[in-house]
Structure 1
Amino acid sequence: MPAHLLPRIAQAEAAAHAAQSPGGWERFGPLVAVWTEDAAPLDTAWHDGTCVPTETEWDAFEAFCARHGQTPTVHALSHAAPELLSALNARGFQLTYVLHVYAHDLKDLPLTPPNMHQTDNALDWAGLAAQGFGPSTAEIMRAVALAPGKRLWWAKVDGQPVATGAYSVVSGVAALHGTATRPEFRGRGLQTALLAARLNAAQQERADLATVMVTPGTGSERNVMRAGFRLAGMRLTWTAAH
């Protein structure tokens, strides 16, 4: 994948992080930090891929986290990691999670399969997504579904929704997420079909690039590779040890 894609993706993710925050957000140099009422895993800062925060910006970010009862957590894409590492280590951050970042241009797309539908029913979508991800994710999925700018999709079998997907578009980049299937309906190609549906829908919104982040070595990673996505880099998550 072209090297310039990661900076573009980082900028779009940081902007979406702010625009879709269910609580509030503040910017500290390149860090966009949010807080939520009841969806703590979303309480993170996105690094926009541009530069290293100053000491003053780090201090202000950590004070923001303290005010909101958060553990300081930072997401950054792999192109920015080398310059950030020294500051993160000095601040006591530890690498806690890695996702693979995949990208897909929006040309020559497969047709949208049947039984893929966009929905405005955010609460039912969130409930279905939590059935796929697990009951502990109910509040997170609700926050995701209700965030501004979300396009919610589900796949139906025999007229009943059984799998979910979502996306949002910022600066021509469609970020795909919310991928979940009820356990008894897995292995039927529903997520591949939902990927195709969302790629086509994003293209109609004049997006020219789609991205998705997946846990390495999982079925989700195999699905996105089969759908024509190509590995662009990694999303690295650091969490303060103190």
Structure 2
Amino acid sequence: MILNNEELARKIEDIKIQGTMEYIINRKKMSPSYNGDYLSLDRKGTVFQMDNYCFGVGLGLNGAVLSSDIERVENFIREKDNCSNIHFELTPFSDQTLLKILQESGYTLEQFLAVWVLKLEEWNPNKGNLRNDEVSIVKVGAEESYEWARTVALGFSSDQNTTEDSIESVRGFLNLSHSTAFLLKEKEESVAGAFVAISDQLGEMFLTSTIQTHRGRGYQNLLIEERINYAKSKGCTHLTVMTKPNNTSARNMERNGFKLAYNKVIIKSSLCK
């Protein structure tokens, strides 16, 4: 049975918190001009500022969040002067007084996100995930790092173009400990990429994208299966991923045996200026 409970939510939120903190620390070491930062709220959660996007993770899972904590977050964001809003990611297990405080402060619902979990000992390969002779998947090393980052950035681009800043932003994830990236090639052309991070027998999948001209060929499913096998080989018992509800990615998770653990609600602040 999937552990649809508060303990599981804490583990899922924690792997995201620790990975994002490590990402920011490493980026600052590599590039002193990088402006990412984070604020830890005494084990009540963590708020991140990455470029012009600010978000909070894990709030209300380890004790009540007070109005003074929210004021501290808002002051932190104002000092950065490059985020117009704060987005708090709340689980069903977050302290209920937090939602009331945010609503009274003018925060509004932005969207829902689905959190999926796969219990690896119960997984059976999907026979529909067929790989032909023209498709190969490689584990990314130093030689493939730029090509992988470029491919992933292109996959997320709405106009099939990308910038060096976007590529370096994606490439920074390769410095995370206990993580691995995968690059999918069709013949010799790099067309899709994916990433998995591992912490305490829990793996988290993210940064999955396919360039627009090669979508609809089942490449996301092949990359899901590749990471499932990899996580099992590393001793993971569970694998998690977050998607928007009822989109193609969500359907691919169901197709590969993932179960919906819970939905997160994203609450957005008014302008923080």
Give the structure 1 partner of residue 196 of structure 2.
167
CA 1:68–1:126 in 2, change beyond 3 Å: closer, same or farther? Answer: same
Give the structure 2 partner of residue 3 of structure 1.
4
Match of 1:128, as an amino acid?
A: T
CA 1:167–1:233 in 2, change beyond 3 Å: closer, same or farther? Answer: same
CA 1:45–1:182 in 2, change beyond 3 Å: closer, same or farther? Answer: same
Greater radius of gyration (CA): 2
Quick one: which of 148, 153, 163 aligns to 1:130? Answer: 153
Distance apart, 1:25 and its partner CA: 2.0
SS in 1 for 2:191: strand
TM superposition outliers: structure 1 runs of 4+ over 6 Å: none
Give the structure 2 partner of residue 218 of structure 1.
247
Match of 2:138, as an amino acid?
A: H
2:15 counterpart of 1:12: yes
Distance apart, 1:82 and its partner CA: 3.6
Count of residue pairs brought into register by the alignment: 239
Matches within 5 A, 1:99-118: 99-107=113-121, 108-110=123-125, 115-118=136-139
Comparing 21-30 and 182-191, the one that deviates more: 21-30
The answer as to whether partners of 1:7 and 1:79 remain within 8 angstroms in 2 is: no
Residue deviations 1:215-241, cap 9 Å, x none? 112111111110110001112211111
Comparing 51-60 and 65-74, the one that deviates more: 51-60
Give the structure 2 partner of residue 153 of structure 1.
182
Distance apart, 1:176 and its partner CA: 0.6
2: CA distance, partners of 1:9 / 1:203: 17
SS in 2 for 1:34: strand
Give the structure 1 partner of residue 101 of structure 2.
87
Distance apart, 1:109 and its partner CA: 4.9
1: CA distance, partners of 2:203 / 2:96: 26
Residue deviations 1:172-206, cap 9 Å, x none? 22111111112222122111110011111122222
Give the structure 2 partner of residue 34 of structure 1.
48
Comparing 189-198 and 100-109, the one that deviates more: 100-109
2: CA distance, partners of 1:239 / 1:62: 12
Match of 1:19, as an amino acid?
A: E
TM-score, normalised with respect to structure 2: 0.78
1: CA distance, partners of 2:124 / 2:239: 12
Comparing 226-235 and 90-99, the one that deviates more: 90-99
2: CA distance, partners of 1:140 / 1:92: 32
2:56 counterpart of 1:45: yes
The answer as to whether partners of 2:137 and 2:185 remain within 8 angstroms in 1 is: yes
Structure 1 alignment gaps of length 5 or more = none
SS in 2 for 1:193: helix
CA 1:141–1:55 in 2, change beyond 3 Å: closer, same or farther? Answer: farther
Comparing 15-24 and 174-183, the one that deviates more: 15-24
The answer as to whether partners of 1:145 and 1:152 remain within 8 angstroms in 2 is: no
Distance apart, 1:125 and its partner CA: 1.7
The answer as to whether partners of 2:63 and 2:95 remain within 8 angstroms in 1 is: no
2: CA distance, partners of 1:81 / 1:94: 17
Matches within 5 A, 1:37-76: 39-41=51-53, 43-48=54-59, 49-69=61-81, 70=83, 71-76=85-90
SS in 2 for 1:231: strand
Give % identity. 20
2: CA distance, partners of 1:73 / 1:122: 30
